[in-house]
Chains A and B, each alone.
Chain A
Amino acid sequence: MLPHYWPTPVTGDPLIYGADVSIALVSIAILFVLFYYKKWGWLWREWLTTVDHKKIGILYVIAALLMLFRGGVDGLLMRTQLAQPNMHFLESEHYNQVFSTHGTIMILFVAMPFMFALFNIVIPLQIGARDVAFPYLNAISFWMFFFGALLLNISFVIGGSPDAGWVSYAPLTEKQFDPGPGENFYLMALQLSGIGSMATGINFLVTILRMRAPGMTLMRMPLLTWAVLAASIIIIYAFPALTIALALLLIDRVAGAHFFTMGHGGNPMMYTNLFWIWGHPEVYIVLLPVFGVFSEVFPAFSGKRVFGYSSMVASLMAISIVSFLLWAHHFFTMGAGPGVNTYFGIASMAIGIPTGVKVFNWMFTMYRGRIRMTMPMRWAVGFIPNFVIGGATGVMLAAAPGDYQYHNSFFLIAHFHQVLIGGTIYGSLAGMYFWWPKMFGFTLDEKRGRIAFWLWNVGFYVTFFPQYLLGLMGMTRRIYTYPPGMGWTNLNLLSTIGAFLMGLGFIYIVWDILYSTMHRSELKDVTGDPWNARSLEWSLPSPPPHYNFAVVPTVTRRDEWWELKKSGRADVLRPTAQDIEAIHMPNNSGKPIIFSVFFFIVGLGFVFEWYAVIVIGLAGVLATMLLRSVEEDTGHHIPAEEVRHEEMALGRM
């Protein structure tokens, strides 16, 4: 059996040599630190084998920030190449790889882990649970995501990156047009992380439905919990379509089938449909949770109840259903009849209705409140104009005949960056600043955060407003160069300048994190409730003990914590010695990471079409599953005495 490919390092470009060298140096440095300080045991016990939702959440945050850096560098490379006409900074092949990995990474490996970080860090604490429904599965979700992301990232230096866009449309991605292993990397990376995402969706649906504290009825749940519930439902229904699309395309490529090929009875349109049946709901998977974040941040910093709670719930649930009914607006120009286009056009506009209602409700949450302009609030207020303009251009795109003119132009690029950055990223950052003290026990520094926010916010408009205009000037996306004389030059240069401002903003966010970590004793959160906020997680110390609640609270109304504080009875949520019983917690396990390593090996096997490697990997996957299924005792009890001791040490008793 001859291997189809040999994973040769990609050569010929200084960028890639640079990447090779820096990856090697960073890896050596990490290994050195781990050996020198003998940290292997700590890393394994505390992080690699953890099933604690809080730690898994932190791992997701770290991964999301690292990937935001990688995806951001891709973005800056593209903007540098487009700064002037006929630039020779990147050649076509490299530009095509860079825009493909930029999109794939930003959606799958930045937006998604940011969402899952929120799910993990906040949801169990907010509903009064000690962990998620399936903690072991939760660890599998993270490691599958991690190794999926790793697989995509190594493609840049070994074998070549995917180069057919993040949508990876057939037949361009069939072997006939794209013979290298790059596309296989894309297919396997998404497949692996998709398994993780699917499991996360199931996990949080069950967690929210089954593990809420006594008394927390559905209509008493915080809105973030509602938003995560809605997003989990979407994940469960949307991801299978992606799994199928990727699997069929992989079968085409490695086994010579003809699902999506030109000729031989294949139909590329089927891939487009399957992709967007997942792809459009995916947009809402990364938006609904941040809608939840804003629904927590606005009330907390306005000192006021969220406005129109029932409306907010209704709009979340409406979005989760309607998001499945408008996928074809991504291809109005693919010749569906006028009836189909009219339906999908109007359905796409209609999803703007519940979204618009939410914006008004957020504004009226601030109305007659007392607004404290903290870092989370700054990102939340910055989000509103940004997202409203993004939503407005979305409605414009939904008018099908208008879309015939915007389709695949820079107008479209500006639109979706405006909703995905203005929505998802602003929301993730608002959430990160808001729950940072809950995760780490100290707040992030305001002054540096403010500089980061303004660099980013100004940079955003400077980057993307010119792109709307470029779209109306006829500039299409995914072109690596353009001629002078089209009137595009100055706007492109402006857009590039904006992109670098955003890059500087990102550096400032990282600097804010480093600075605050160095000054964590001054920024320490001693109360557990640094923002004077409303939901149950703020009744716990920061960071919470690993069992979260020594005694599970009983909920009697919305905003329980806020109401208790207001009536001066916050102490009822503190445990008393006689109430504390032994707590059952799941055991840490090394199997999720080992299981995922074997899946990674399967992935590599498919990428290079080495069948022996695939078999070895699959055998490992099955063996890990088997070992797990015969494992009898997967949990342990923390004795009541130990819990009392810990609560005493936290000053809670």
Chain B
Amino acid sequence: MNGDHFLVLNPAGPVARIELHLIVVSIILVLIVVIPVAILLAYITRRYRDHPDNKAPYMPEWSESKVLEIIWWGIPVTIIAILGVYTAYDTFALVKPPEKNATPVTIQVTSLNWKWLFQYPEQGIATVNECDIPVNRPVQFVITANSPMNGFWVPQLGGQEYAMPGMAMRLWLQADHPGIFYGHGGNFTGRGYAKMDFHVVSRPSAQFAQWVQTVKKTAPALTSKGYNQLVSSQNNTPTLFYSSYPAGSFERTIRHQGGMYMQRDLTIIGASK
């Protein structure tokens, strides 16, 4: 066991760091109850055993104490009030881009049976099971599924958001140093689910631009037929790169899977009625 393996405890970006901070705060707060309970329990069960020579007081009728009861209604109320404030603050913070001064990148994520498709509308390229992002720029993931519900989770960058058919879900993440980060589907989708892992590769901006150019030059195009094959083939695939993808395929997928009824989701993908 090695400290680096605790992905959640080794954040590589501001979102995961906020989440870790809240996790640490919550651990400290709950320990305020857990530790005294453990000590009290050990003390009480030792001291008040039923031995004939036990000198500890025995008060079989003593069963009410206003003061004590106020204390133990009060302590958890206080703890939860404090944790509640932190929770509210962070929950609202995480729906905004982590950094306001940098231009965000948008990446469209689709859960398929059983692989992840990433489309880069600004770059016009697509990848499977590998997601490439520039460092220090907020990334807006717009997530959907053309499969049963899944979850998009990259522990070192931040907690997950579901991939749901017919819906466009938004998740802001950001990497603050170059690296390769493990990701996995978060919700069971059937036979091939266990092997739905992927990697997020973060690179400095210049190298990211260079990588985009390389993909554009060297990778094949994703045709409509190829897209349909990806959707319908029930298998895990290796990492794949595409120099282009059928225009509007992401938006079409959302609409066809039920998004046409959802004004909110149509707004997120910027499609008009």
Contact = CB atoms under 8 A, between A and B. Distances in A.
Interface of A: 92-93, 96, 164-165, 169, 171-172, 177-178, 262-263, 265-269, 302-309, 311, 331, 333-335, 337-338, 341-342, 345-346, 349-350, 352-353, 356-357, 359-361, 363-373, 381, 384-385, 388-389, 392-393, 395-396, 398-409, 469, 471-474, 476-482, 486-488, 490-491
Given A311-B69, A363-B41, A342 B91 contact: yes
Nearest to B183: A474
Interface string B28-49: 0111011001101100110011
B72 A357 contact: yes
Contact of B164 (A268, A370, A381, A488): A268
A389 B38 CA distance: 10
A-B complex: 4 closest residue pairs judged by Cβ atoms: A404-B159, A487-B5, A172-B148, A392-B30
Interface string B6-29: 111100000010111011001101
B200 interface: no
B84 A335 contact: no
B159 A370 contact: no
Contacts of A490: 1
Given A169-B187, A308-B63, A369-B60, 10 more contacts: A171-B149, A304-B60, A334-B162, A335-B161, A364-B65, A381-B41, A399-B83, A402-B23, A405-B155, A479-B193
A479 B149 CA distance: 15
A165 B194 CA distance: 14
Contacts of B68: 360, 364
Chain A contact surface mostly: helix
A356 B184 CA distance: 35
Contacts of A309: 63
A357 B73 contact: yes
Nearest to A388: B37
B58 A369 contact: yes
A5 to B, nearest CB: 19
14 contacts: A96-B188, A96-B190, A171-B149, A177-B113, A177-B147, A303-B58, A335-B167, A338-B94, A342-B88, A385-B37, A395-B30, A396-B23, A399-B83, A404-B159
Nearest to A351: B80
B49 A371 contact: yes
A262 B257 CA distance: 5
A370 B95 CA distance: 55
A305 B18 CA distance: 47
A165 B188 CA distance: 8
Contact of B258 (A267, A302, A361, A407): A267
Nearest to B165: A262
Contacts of B86: 399
Contact of A401 (B19, B30, B34, B170): B19
Contacts of A352: 76, 80
Contacts of A359: 37
Contact of B48 (A269, A367, A476): A367
B182 interface: yes
B34 A389 contact: yes
B151 A353 contact: no
A372 B94 CA distance: 52
Contacts of A396: 23, 26-27, 30
A528 B223 CA distance: 80
B189 to A, nearest CB: 6
A398 B79 CA distance: 13
A520 to B, nearest CB: 26
A301 to B, nearest CB: 8
A92 B72 contact: no
Nearest to B156: A474
Interface residues on B, range: 35 or more
Contacts of B88: 342, 345-346
A402 B45 contact: no
Interface of B: 1-2, 4-9, 16, 18-20, 22-23, 26-27, 29-31, 33-34, 37-38, 40-41, 44-45, 48-50, 54, 56-65, 68-69, 72-73, 75-77, 79-80, 83-84, 86-88, 90-92, 94-95, 113, 147-149, 151, 153, 155, 158-162, 164-167, 169-170, 182, 184-194, 256-258, 261
Contacts of B95: 337-338
A295 B64 CA distance: 15
A304 B44 contact: no
Contacts of A402: 19, 22-23, 26, 159
A165 B148 CA distance: 13
Contact of B192 (A92, A335, A474): A92
Query: Looking at A267, A311, A357, A367, which has the most chain B CB atoms within 10 Å of its CB?
Result: A367
A304 B62 contact: yes
Contact of A363 (B40, B167, B188, B189): B40
Contacts of A491: 1
A355 to B, nearest CB: 9
A337 B151 CA distance: 17
A474 B5 CA distance: 8
Nearest to B34: A392
Contacts of A92: 191-192, 194
A53 B9 CA distance: 53
B40 to A, nearest CB: 6
Contact of A93 (B113, B149, B191): B191
A530 to B, nearest CB: 15
B63 A306 contact: yes
A371 B190 CA distance: 51
Contacts of B83: 349, 395, 399
A465 to B, nearest CB: 13
Contacts of A305: 60-63
Contacts of B188: 96, 164-165, 169, 172, 477-478
Nearest to A346: B84
Contact of B50 (A303, A308, A345, A360): A303
A610 to B, nearest CB: 27
A399 B59 contact: no
A263 B166 contact: yes
B162 A487 contact: no
B190 A172 contact: yes
Given A92-B192, A308-B69, A369 B87 contact: no
A600 B266 CA distance: 46
Contact of B76 (A353, A369, A385, A477): A353
B42 to A, nearest CB: 9
A408 B48 contact: no
B19 A404 contact: yes
Nearest to B75: A356
B256 A472 contact: no
A405 B160 CA distance: 6
Contact of B56 (A302, A364, A368, A471): A368
A345 B94 CA distance: 15
A357 B76 contact: yes
Contacts of A366: 44-45, 48
A309 B62 CA distance: 11
Given A338-B94, A388-B33, A363 B44 contact: yes
Given A267-B258, A369-B60, A474-B8, A331 B162 contact: yes
Nearest to A389: B34
